[in-house]
Amino acid sequence: MIKNFYIYVSASFDPYLNLAKEKLLFDRCGHGDMILYLWQNEKTVVIGKNQNPLAECNLHAMKKDGIRLARRLSGGGAVYHDSGNLNFTFISADAPDACERNTDIICRACEMLGIPSVRSGRNDITVQDKKFSGNAFYHSEGKFCHHGTILIQSDFEALEKYLTPSKLKLSAKGVKSVRSRVINLASLSPELTPEKMSELIIKATELTLGQKPEKIPKLDRKSIEIVASEYSSDEYLYGKTAPYTLEFYERFSWGEVSVRLNIESGRIAHAALYTDAMDEALSVKFEKLLCGTKFEKKFVEEALLTEIEPHFAKDLADMMFREI
């Protein structure tokens, strides 16, 4: 049950400051609280926690054009943010119905515009079978963070230029380009702006919860800058590149996966997993469980099954040994 409803609207367009604010709001959220955080980034590609930016972004074009790279704490795929895109974050206690409730709020805001929308697939909200909102999630310490994008007046030429999803991903969706499967809400409601959409989301949340919001106490500027500094570092954005001798790649119903292994004396010395799967902890578990494991299917699958969901573990083991 939500006892206290808070709103925080960021005035910054800096992705590192905005993601730092989200992290601090998550840490601050107490039992019985819900925090609605609304924010925008200027010209930024945001990748999921477990993605490899070399495979997801056109880094050369981004550097040339001054487009920033950011990495969020949730799983899922890469997205392009600009001033025509509104980002929302719901933070609350982890509950079975939290995701559905939050998605219904976004759909309710769209209904106020006369736009019928539906939840589609594992993490999208669509209208006319086209995506205008991609969502991602993470859980920690009994709390749930659900955040997503809303395309309102976004630059689709830029989106297509800077995002480089695999041909496998687009093929699985039966389309030829990124642009062909997304839609700006302003194309259906010409007067719509990010500011107006923010107002509608706040109103829809009030109606859903049956209560008026409070403004959350001011965040500490120094704390924001410390977290933002970490989030903008090359180590955080690009990670450490370990040597590898084997590489595997496949798309499953639950996500696209790239695995890199370095094998020494028949054992896995280094393991890396890049994925757009929604489980933000999957890569860390995979790397931890396989390091030092004998490179045989039986031992790899047994190691993965200790902490990873059975169907994920089986798919990963099958992928690595299918052609060996």
Q: What is the pLDDT at residue 187?
A: 97
Task: Give residue-wise pLDDT tens across range 142-151.
Answer: 999 999 999 9
Backbone Cα Rg of the chain: 20
Q: What is the pLDDT at residue 217?
A: 84
Q: What is the pLDDT at residue 322?
A: 85
Gap between the Cα atoms of 181 and 173, Å rounded = 9
Gap between the Cα atoms of 291 and 287, Å rounded = 6
Q: Structure pTM?
A: 0.85
Q: What is the pLDDT at residue 242?
A: 61
Report the residue count for the chain.
324
Write the CB contacts of 185 (distance below 8 Å, at least 6 apart in sequence): 110, 113, 115, 127, 132, 150, 151, 152, 192, 197
Range in 163-177, 246-260, 283-297 the model is least confident about: 163-177
Task: Give residue-wise pLDDT tens across range 80-120.
Answer: 999 999 999 999 999 889 999 999 999 999 999 999 999 98
Task: Give residue-wise pLDDT tens across range 182-219.
Answer: 999 999 999 999 999 999 999 999 999 999 998 888 89
Task: Give residue-wise pLDDT tens across range 225-264.
Answer: 999 999 999 999 987 656 688 899 999 999 999 999 998 8
Mean pLDDT over each residue of the chain, to the nearest integer: 92
Long-range pairs for 188-191 at CB < 8 Å and ≥24 separation?
Answer: 188/113, 188/115, 188/127, 189/113, 189/114, 189/115
Beta bridge partners of 91: 35, 145
Gap between the Cα atoms of 65 and 206, Å rounded = 40
Confidence of residue 171 (pLDDT cuts 50, 70, 90): low
52-56 average pLDDT score: 84
Checking if the pLDDT of 177 tops 60, the result is no
Gap between the Cα atoms of 54 and 99, Å rounded = 30
Gap between the Cα atoms of 278 and 287, Å rounded = 17
